[in-house]
Amino acid sequence: MLEHTAEQQAAVSPECFQQQPDCCSYVGRFAPSPTGPLHFGSLLTAVASYCDAKANQGKWLVRIEDTDIPRIYPNSETHILSCIDAFQFEPDAEIIFQKDRLDIYEQVLEQLKQSQDIYACQCTRKMLGSNHIYAGTCRNLNLDFANQAIRLKVADQLICFQDRLQGQQCSNLQNELGDFVLKRRDGIISYQLAVVVDDYLQGITHVVRGADLLDNTARQIWLGSLLNYPALSYMHLPLAMNDQGQKLSKQNLAQALDISQAPELLHQAILALGQASVELDQPRIMLQQAVQQWDVNLIPQGIHLTGTYL
């Protein structure tokens, strides 16, 4: 395990509620990526993460995960912030943007370098071909870190966690994935690194997100363990599927949320999550009622959507 020096520990010390552990035992978050406008599937995650946090007397934070700067869709960050306002979600801390925190991620990479948990990799996609499991080609080459991808070493061991909806999940990263990238050759910080560091720094205790991110969890648990970060609770929501049986996603051109229809969309999201109906009102009032009635056991195994706003 990584031992932090006093200087390094200060550089990555937890912010916000983690500095006041008696504040609350539940800190959740909604962390959209601005690679396109928010759609109904995004709203489901926002509603579920918000209601679960508030029903447990917890805090709810918003983080914009925008480290992959070339993929940021024009005006999508503005749309995300407009949706937060229109649906009257009330974050319990200032919204942060990962692109403003790149120096923090570099500090953590330096810590991992000092502990010899990462190495430079010169392999290109062409060199790797169709192999989806990295064979560790560069692990022992001791390449210079400049202008190279940076990979995290994994071990031949089973990583298991109990998902609140999906049940027990186990993965062996060495057999299923191999050493994985934390920083690309072009300098882009990976999602895996940024999300683990920011969950720790923001004092996140509970993660509620879509099941499309389920296979990322073992990687994040492994990285967190190397950094001596506390374990998190996970709940992965069933994916929302459209009439054609496709998951709602930016890649499938899911319709952007229409903020002028916020109350109607919010009502539809609450019902899609299997929750008791709420009265059509201001979104703030609807959310309060949804929190009071929130029951994780009612969330369906699958969410199949039809309707005007999808």
The annotation status of 31 as a binding-site residue, yes or no, is yes
The annotation status of 191 as a binding-site residue, yes or no, is yes
The annotation status of 65 as a binding-site residue, yes or no, is yes
AA identity, residue 251: Q
DSSP 25: S
SS3 145: coil
Q: What b-and-e string marks burial along 268-304, b requiring 16 or more CB atoms within 10 Å of the CB?
A: bbbebbebeebeeeebeebbbbbbeebebeebeeebe
The annotation status of 138 as a binding-site residue, yes or no, is yes
SS3 274: coil
State how far Cα 288 lies from the chain centre: 24
The annotation status of 33 as a binding-site residue, yes or no, is yes
- Dihedral sign computed on CA atoms, order 214, 205, 248, 220: negative
The annotation status of 250 as a binding-site residue, yes or no, is yes
State the DSSP H helix or E strand holding residue 237, giving kind and residue range, or none if neither. Answer: strand 233-237
The annotation status of 200 as a binding-site residue, yes or no, is no
Helices (H), the chain: 6-11, 40-55, 76-86, 102-114, 125-128, 173-176, 191-201, 217-226, 262-272, 283-293
Q: How far is the CA of 296 from the CAs of 8, 42, 80, 214, 279, in angstroms? A: 39, 18, 25, 18, 20
SS3 31: coil
Which two tokens mark 7? 């200087």
The annotation status of 113 as a binding-site residue, yes or no, is no
The annotation status of 121 as a binding-site residue, yes or no, is yes
The annotation status of 29 as a binding-site residue, yes or no, is yes
**What is the gyration radius of the CA atoms in the chain, in angstroms?**
20
- Residues flagged as binding site for L-glutamate: 29-33, 65, 191, 209
**Which residue ranges are tagged as binding site for Zn(2+)?**
121, 123, 134, 138
Residues making up the annotated binding site for ATP are 250
The binding site comprises 29-33, 65, 121, 123, 134, 138, 191, 209, 250
